[in-house]
Amino acid sequence: MKFDTYLAIGIGGFIGAILRAYINGIVNSNIKHNIPFGTLSVNLIGSFILGILIGLIQYQALQNPYLKSMLTTGMMGALTTFSTFAIENFFLLKNGLITESIIYILLNVIGSIILAGSGFKIIQSIYG
């Protein structure tokens, strides 16, 4: 990958990270609840936007390789990696790979929870 591509991804990541904090802050300050609606919001918004972007890319309405990298890997990657998970599952389902989609969902969701908890428990055992 060329440096220009990394730079485009970095710029997009900067924008996405700021958007994530901004959206999270607005939602969490307006919706008081035990469910983390701020995170849910960025995941849903990011999934929707990535779907639009992938559609634009697939139908060649978005062709600039730097802009594609900036918006998808950079901005959407920093806003939420859940959007990538969502679009990948969409394509698995679209291609009739239902079993693979279910396995992928379960591995991602359950595996991520187990590994997040494991990481926390490791640190807790050292410092707790």
Using the predicted structure, report yes or no on whether residue 116 has a pLDDT greater than 90. Answer: no
- The pLDDT, as a whole number, for residue 54 is 95
Domain boundaries, the chain: 3-80
Q: What is the DSSP letter of 96?
A: T
Site of tokens 């983390």: 36
Q: What is the pLDDT of residues 77-107, one digit of tens each?
A: 999 878 889 999 999 999 999 999 999 999 9
**Residue 100 amino acid letter:** E
**pLDDT-derived band of residue 128, with 50, 70 and 90 as boundaries?**
confident
Cα separation, 40 vs 66, in Å, equals 28
Q: Are 79 and 40 in contact (CB under 8 A)?
A: no
Say if residue 59 is exposed, middle or buried (CB neighbours under 10 Å; 0-12, 13-18, 19+). Answer: exposed
List, in order, residues 6 or more apart from 38 with CB less than 8 Å away: 23, 24, 25, 26, 27, 28
Q: What is the pLDDT of residues 42-60, one digit of tens each?
A: 999 999 999 999 999 999 9
CA distance from start to end of the chain: 43
> Can you give the pTM of this predicted structure?
0.81
